[in-house]
Amino acid sequence: MAIKNQLYAGAAQVDITPSLGTRINGDFVTHFATHIHDPLYAKCLILKNDHEILAFVIVDICTMSQTFMDEVKVKINKQTHIPLRNILMACTHTHAAGAIEEVHLGALDMAYRRQLASQIPKSVTEALDKIQPAEFAWGHLHVPDHVLCRRYHMSDDYTPVNPVTDQEDQIKTNPFGLEKWIDRPVGVTDPEVYYMAVRNLDGEWISVLSNYSLHYVGDWENGTITADYFGVFAQAVKENLNAGEDFVAMMTNGTSGDINIWDFAGEKSYPAAHFKKSHLIGTDIARQVAENLVGRTSWKKSVALEMKNNSLSLGVRKPDQKALDMAKKIVKESDYENFVYSDAGLRKAYAREQVLLNDEPDERTAPLQVIRIGDLVIGALPGEFFAETGLNLKNENLSKGYFTICLANGNVGYVPPAHEIEMGGYETWRCRYSCLEENAEEKIFARMKNTIKEITAST
């Protein structure tokens, strides 16, 4: 008997591992790929019913701009006819991947950028080729063990300094070597792991897409190519479910702008060797997701698919003339060929940022997207947002399942709440990667809240 509005699903992944020698970003300077530990992928999950089609495209990379993503979406549209507005594209945010955008002093790799632009659409066309009748389920679980706030109040014996203003900050992000002066963490964490899963009507697994608000693990040497814990999770889920070769798992990055798992306060006992920590975290989350998923009995063969897209124009914080003149003076006196990570080095790096930021447009556009799959709602935000933002969005949607995928459809950089900007810390230091107006988070939250209300009202 035919099912009305039957769900169809297909998934695929394409190897996008860069060549040795490719530039890597995610640090203040460029690194070069000298060791490939594990492959990187562009992954796609397509969901389709009688009325709509959705494509989730998740890429093992640190950052992609809206300009780049829009170019790739046009390629996808031409090859598949999937509407541009129906594509969600996001970075995992591994910091050990090819560089296709300039970040701080780290340069982009044009050869890899061109290569990636042609590889990502293949994941979508291959997923579309594999589309088949399917059933859908989602769930969430509490995994607080692997998330810590990386912003700390320090004791009175240590004074954090803002390299942009040369003034005191109230907090310190990632206090390497300063552990003895830590007082307490600043913010909250989001301990939830969300997942959605599809399998065919014979019970064979097609895909699992998960979400966790953990920045990345970063337990590798500079020069390494690795998908970090995101890749470990994907492989471990496949093994735990005893899934077939065509199965594709993916972990998306939630609201983790102020969250990592670098244990400055000595609360954890993770292994210290390279890759051991990411393996432990990835396999632990995968095991818990698989156990939760195997016991799930509520599978739906017919689900509504809906999406809403809009955008916000937001002001850019720029240096005033006095700050700009000082920055130019510092730049003229600086040697950027031999950058050293220190207070003095940061002062030079951020002086350069002020000069370059001043030449940027006075506004940036933030693309916002909300997707509904049955009674699950997914928000997509184009940057690095704090756990507080994600938790507040979840609290607005207590009657539904909800999670946020960040670094999606673009990247406007860090978007801290206004009160966090006031306290300072790395994520708030004015630069091209953290420059939106102070109330940007509040405006984005309000727009997302209203859009979520609109999309859930149609259920």
d(CA 56, CA 116): 17
d(CA 366, CA 311): 5
Has residue 171 been placed in a domain? no
Are 337 and 430 in a shared domain? no
d(CA 168, CA 289): 43
Does the pLDDT of residue 1 top 60, yes or no? Answer: no
Polymer length of the chain: 459
Strand partners, 377: 372, 402
Average pLDDT (2-9) is: 88
Q: Contact 162/170 with Cβ under 8 angstroms?
A: no
* pLDDT computed for residue 459 by the predictor: 61
Are 332 and 280 in a shared domain? no
* Residue that is last in its domain, among 358, 387, 418: 358
Q: Which of 104, 107, 96, 60 minimizes the C-alpha distance to 218?
A: 96
Percent of the chain with pLDDT over 90: 94
Average pLDDT (23-35) is: 95
Question: 């003229």: which residue's tokens?
Answer: 332
Has residue 172 been placed in a domain? no
Sheet with 363-373: strands ordered across: 305-315, 363-373, 376-380, 401-405
Query: Cβ atoms within 10 A of the Cβ of 265, count?
Result: 15
Average pLDDT (3-10) is: 92
d(CA 317, CA 229): 34
Are 328 and 377 in a shared domain? no
Has residue 449 been placed in a domain? yes
Does the pLDDT of residue 286 top 60, yes or no? Answer: yes
* Residue that is last in its domain, among 298, 329, 358: 358
223 or 400: which leads in pLDDT: 223
Token couple for 343: 């207070």
Q: Give the list of residues 6+ apart from residue 338 with CB closer than 8 angstroms, or none.
A: none
Token couple for 61: 């990379």
* pLDDT computed for residue 4 by the predictor: 81
- Residue 451 zone, left/alpha/beta (φ > 0; ψ -120 to 50; rest): alpha
pLDDT digits (tens, 9 = 90+) for 60-107: 999 999 999 999 999 999 999 999 999 999 999 999 999 999 999 999
| R_g of the chain computed on alpha carbons | 22
Are 198 and 235 in a shared domain? yes
Positive or negative: CA dihedral 234, 264, 392, 397? positive
Are 130 and 98 in a shared domain? yes
Split at pLDDT 50, 70, 90, the class of 206 is very high
Strand partners, 194: 140, 211
* pLDDT computed for residue 424 by the predictor: 98
d(CA 223, CA 209): 28
pLDDT digits (tens, 9 = 90+) for 376-419: 999 999 999 999 999 999 998 877 799 999 999 999 999 999 99
What mean pLDDT is reported for the chain?
97
Strand partners, 43: 13, 58
CA distances from 389 to 83, 148, 436 (A): 29, 16, 16
Are 232 and 100 in a shared domain? yes
Has residue 176 been placed in a domain? no
* pLDDT computed for residue 2 by the predictor: 65
Are 345 and 408 in a shared domain? no
Are 340 and 353 in a shared domain? yes
Domain of 352, in residue numbers: 319-358
Average pLDDT (50-64) is: 98
Token couple for 386: 């704090």
3-state secondary structure the chain: CCCCCCCEEEEEEEECCCCCCCEECCCCCCEECCEECCCCEEEEEEEECCCCEEEEEEECCCCCCHHHHHHHHHHHHHHHCCCHHHEEEEECCCCCCECCCCECCECCCHHHHHHHHHHHHHHHHHHHHCCEEEEEEEEEEECHHHCEECEEEECCCCCCECCCCCCECCEEECCCCCHHHEEEECCCCCCEEEEEEEEECCCCEEEEEEEECCCCCCCCCCCEECCHHHHHHHHHHHHHHCCCCCCEEEEEECCCCCEECCCCCCCCCCCCCCCHHHHHHHHHHHHHHHHHHHCCCCCECCCCEEEEEEEEEEEECCCCHHHHHHHHHHHHCCCHHHCCCCHHHHHHHHHHHHHHHHCCCCEEEEEEEEEEECCEEEEECCCEECHHHHHHHHHCCCCCEEEEECCECCCCCEECCHHHHHHCCHHHCCECCECECCCHHHHHHHHHHHHHHHHHHCC
Has residue 180 been placed in a domain? no
Has residue 422 been placed in a domain? yes
* pLDDT computed for residue 252 by the predictor: 99
- Phi and psi of 415, rounded to 5°? -130, 75
Query: Cβ atoms within 10 A of the Cβ of 131, count?
Result: 16
Average pLDDT (44-62) is: 98
Distance of CA 371 to the CA centre of its chain: 17
Has residue 23 been placed in a domain? yes
In the chain, the amino acid numbered 182 is: I
Token couple for 349: 């790096």
Are 22 and 84 in a shared domain? yes
Are 336 and 427 in a shared domain? no
Average pLDDT (291-314) is: 94
* pLDDT computed for residue 249 by the predictor: 99
Average pLDDT (221-248) is: 98
Does the pLDDT of residue 297 top 90, yes or no? Answer: no
Has residue 389 been placed in a domain? yes
Q: Please work out, in degrees rounded to the nearest 5, the angle formed at the alpha carbon of residue 137 by the alpha carbons of 133 and 139.
A: 160
* Residue that is last in its domain, among 358, 389, 417: 358
Q: How many domains does the chain have?
A: 2
Token couple for 366: 């933030």
Are 211 and 323 in a shared domain? no
Are 345 and 200 in a shared domain? no
Split at pLDDT 50, 70, 90, the class of 3 is confident
Q: Contact 69/91 with Cβ under 8 angstroms?
A: no
pLDDT digits (tens, 9 = 90+) for 123-141: 999 999 999 999 999 999 9
Average pLDDT (179-200) is: 97
